[in-house]
Amino acid sequence: MITPRERIPNVMWDVFSDKAPKPGNYSQAVVTKVGSIYLVDFAGQTGNVPDGQDDPLVLVPGQTKPGTSHADYSLQSQQALRNIGGILDDLIGRGLTLRVGSGSLLTHVQVDMVDMTAEHKKAFEDAYSSFFMGNSRYPARTFREVPGLPLPGEGCLVELTARAAIPEEFFGFSKF
């Protein structure tokens, strides 16, 4: 669902998708049109699943709580990428998801990781390359180690924020 912002009509929209965890008092993404390009700024996505229940803070199945194994980082990274992909898929429709041609609609991914060791970074790298398999170009990426993530509960290890650039001809909502 896309909701135009009242202060800036036809320029900025809030995005809410059932394909990602229900947000708190923020949008899952915000879309801004700049010329013939739609810029999408995603709110932080974690390894929580869009299970449709009242509690969106359920970590991906298979996650050991609290855990910090290679598998925990990998599972959470995969789910966070799926959450971003789900929001983008709802936004542009037509099954284009994150890929157009040989590149990606995502232009930048920021990775916030608790306890970033070489093993944990590799777990993310494996999930990232698997997610974008078949693309010859990857989004730019930034890693930051953080002391913790500001979410209730235990076990959240990875949070991704991202930006996408969607050419007008691929945007799924022609009414804008």
In-domain check, residue 175: no
Is the pTM higher than 0.75? The answer reads: yes
* CATH number, residue 109: 3.30.1330.40
Distance CA 78, CA 11 (A): 32
Q: Which of 74, 44, 47, 31 is nearest to 155 (CA)?
A: 47
User: The domain containing residue 99 runs over which residues?
Assistant: 2-170
What is the average pLDDT across 78-105? 70
CB 124 within 8 A of CB 113: yes
In-domain check, residue 94: yes
In-domain check, residue 176: no
- For residue 105, what pLDDT is reported? 78
Sorting pLDDT into bands at 50, 70 and 90, what band is 162? very high
Mean pLDDT of the chain: 75
In-domain check, residue 153: yes
In-domain check, residue 40: yes
In-domain check, residue 131: yes
Q: Which of 30, 8, 7 is nearest to 91 (CA)?
A: 30
What is the average pLDDT across 77-98? 76
- For residue 42, what pLDDT is reported? 92
Q: Which of 81, 63, 60 is nearest to 72 (CA)?
A: 63
pLDDT at 54 over 70: no
pLDDT at 148 over 60: yes
Sorting pLDDT into bands at 50, 70 and 90, what band is 23? confident
In-domain check, residue 13: yes
Total domains present in the chain: 1
